Amino acid sequence: MDIAIRPIGPAEHEILGGITAEAYLGDGLLDFGADDPYLERLRDVTRRAAEAEVLVAADSRGRVLGGVTYAPPGNPWCDIAAADEAEFRMLAVSREARGAGAGEALVRACIDRARSTAGVRGIVLSTQAGMHGAHRIYRRLGFERTPERDWYPVPSVPLLTYRLELRPMP
């Protein structure tokens, strides 16, 4: 599948919000299902795009397959990043596009952005234990688990953390 990574357009906010919400709901990642308060934050792509960088993976016809929120150091969307780290979050791919490379392409785009930012030495993320497909992508791309940084945004939701040390591009 031909996949292009690009910044999201305003007309795509609702589409990506739906994909993200469905990914989390469909995979059983929200403790309170459709009543989970985090669901509204997942759907609010307009806010994310105003405060951070939202990237989408699109097929050759321009159809949005998934997206991710990239936060450079110091951005309000960073949860665990140190001053010399970028962070990404809310990586989601539509069910029908999974396994075609969209998720990995989105993660690679975040790595490239972090690598091209002066002073950034690493990129970090938080993930749930059940996100096995995403964990495979992170390991394949060289991310390492950082259990000392694991955290709980709410008492019932433990988040695992990963970090990739960035080496300068040759």
pLDDT, mean over the chain: 93
Task: Give 28's pLDDT tier (boundaries 50, 70, 90).
Answer: confident
CB count within 10 Å of CB 138 equals: 22
Its pTM stands at: 0.93
Is 53 in a helix, a strand, or coil? strand
Distance CA 118, CA 140 (A): 25
CB 166 within 8 A of CB 142: no
Q: What CA–CA distances, in Å, run from 54 to 2, 77, 134?
A: 20, 11, 18
pLDDT in tens, 61-119: 999 999 999 999 999 999 999 999 999 999 999 999 988 999 999 999 999 999 999 99
CA angle 133, 56, 86 (to 5 degrees): 75
